[in-house]
Amino acid sequence: MAKRTIQDLDLKDKKVLVRVDFNVPIKDGVIGDDNRIVAALPTIKYIIEHGGKAILFSHLGRVKTEEDKKGKSLAPVAKRLQELLGQKVIFVPHTRGPELEKAINDMKDGDVLLVENTRFEDVDGKKESGNDPELGKYWASLGDVFVNDAFGTAHRSHASNVGIASHLPSAVGFLMEKEIKFIGEAVEHPKRPFVAILGGAKVSDKIGVIENLLSKADKILIGGGMTYTFYAAKGMAVGKSLLEEEKVALAKDILKKAGDKLVLPIDSKTAAEFSNDVPVEEHAGDVPEGQMGLDIGPETIALYAQILDGSKTVVWNGPMGVFEMSNFADGTIGVCEAIANLKDATTIIGGGDSAAAAKQLGFADKFTHISTGGGASLELLEGKTLPGLAAIDDK
């Protein structure tokens, strides 16, 4: 990897500013899923084991007004992190000022401190999410080195990642290094056959990914709502299915360019309404009037499993149907099972809904890597440069 990593830094006696991703679901002060906190532990432990002082920055949700701050404090995260680390975590309920500065200056080697939600700085204008130069410089002044371990925000240019990195010696943490290694390597140097599976609602969300992967993957399997924009591009009937009419011409261009590399579903599970409580039908090809396609059908599941058989690299981003409804989860389950059963393959889920589906369906441990960042992994799959990564010092 061309970027400097945490193992390239001398951390002893250093105040190490770390951008982590603790954007976890919190309801009534209770954390619903602590996976992102757990994912940051290797980097935090490495810092304290090597004599550094770990000063952690993270956002939580979107904050635009004083009212938005309610329920968005990182205090519950500090408590959970303390339990996971088995040592005290100092929490400072401020993003700047004398109390924060004193708490940092009083730290001893091996201490861990969590700064309050960086997005609280967005209340008086987008200081954090707008990468305000003064804020980035101020935060950088609190430390000696910077480690970015928040892949989930690497596609954003914020004061707490790009801003800090522009003023301090910087490196990536273990989680960020792992994400780049798996997703970047899979796309740029895949073992073949390389199959990409793209689902989700809209073609517009995945255009860049499809176009980038056309030159790299051996097959691209399509699922989800965007199926029906491609159907329309082929002159097929889509009934009441989700359709981006303004993207039909683009879908035609993609189909023409892709040839047999792009594979569309051959049948659909449909219903008259977007509901789990109405009769389900199965239709090959065209979707009849009055029906909407809500999942890939059994013939497509079998076809996709057949194409996946023997694959050596698989990247999956986006569910095959409305997997939250049991009547329309079979496609996502089927694809999940087919990937999970592959032998000697590198299998990667690009975050977001597909990651949620794999976890919900109990397949999480069957994959080589599940990304912690939906938007960031999508942009990597598109071949884009991530600002949060670009700002880090090269080796």
Q: Are residues 324 and 253 in the same domain?
A: yes
pLDDT in tens, 344-382: 999 999 877 888 888 888 888 899 998 888 888 888 888
pLDDT, tens only, 136-195: 999 999 999 999 999 999 999 999 999 999 999 999 999 999 999 988 888 889 999 999
Specify whether 302 is located in the same domain as 333.
Answer: yes
Domain boundary among 156, 175, 194: 175
Which amino acid would we find at residue 160? S
Convert the pLDDT of each residue in 231-251 to its tens digit: 999 999 999 999 999 999 999
Domain identity same for 113 and 262: no
250 lies in the same domain as 347: yes
Report if residue 1 sits inside a domain. Answer: no
Active site residues: 36, 202, 352, 375
Residues 168 and 236 in one domain: no
Range of the domain at 145: 6-175
Structural domain includes residue 388: no
Number of domains present in the structure of the chain: 2
Is residue 376 domain-resident? yes
Residue 24: pLDDT band by 50, 70, 90 thresholds? Answer: very high
Instruction: Say whether both 165 and 186 belong to one domain.
Output: no
Q: What percent of the chain has pLDDT over 90?
A: 84
Q: Is residue 392 part of a domain?
A: no
Residue 328 pLDDT greater than 70, yes or no: yes
Question: Given a cut of 80, is residue 1 above it in pLDDT?
Answer: no
| Residue at which a domain ends, from 125, 154, 175 | 175
Look up the CATH number of the domain holding residue 253.
3.40.50.1260
Strand pairing report for 30-31 and 26-27: antiparallel
Q: Is the dihedral of CA 253, 259, 265, 266 positive or negative?
A: positive
Do 110 and 250 fall into the same domain? Answer: no
Distance CA(125)–CA(161), nearest Å, equals: 18
Q: Which of 213, 255, 201, 200 is nearest to 230 (CA)?
A: 255
In a domain, 211, yes or no: yes
Over the chain, what is the mean pLDDT? 95
Q: Are 230 and 297 found together in one domain? A: yes
Q: What is the pLDDT of residues 202-222, one digit of tens each?
A: 888 899 999 999 999 999 999
CA gap 174, 153 in Å, rounded: 15
Transcribe 193-217 into DSSP letters.
SEEEEE-SS-HHHHHHHHHHHTTT-
Q: Is residue 122 located within the same domain as residue 231?
A: no
Assigned domain for 87 exists? yes
Domain shared by 157 and 213, yes or no: no
> Do 136 and 63 share a structural domain?
yes
Backbone φ and ψ of 296, nearest 5°? -75, 150
Query: pTM here?
Result: 0.87
* Nearest Cα to Cα of residue 240 among 248, 232, 250: 232
Phi, psi of 358 (to 5 degrees): -60, -40
Could you tell me if residue 387 is inside a domain?
Answer: no
Domain termination site, one of 154, 175, 196: 175
Determine the Cα–Cα distance for residues 88 and 82; give it in Å rounded to an integer: 5
Instruction: Measure Cα distances from 140 to 118, 136, 166, 222 in Å.
Output: 13, 6, 9, 44
Percentage of residues of the chain with pLDDT beyond 70 = 100
Is residue 390, in this structure, part of any structural domain at all? no
My answer on whether 115 and 232 are in the same domain is: no
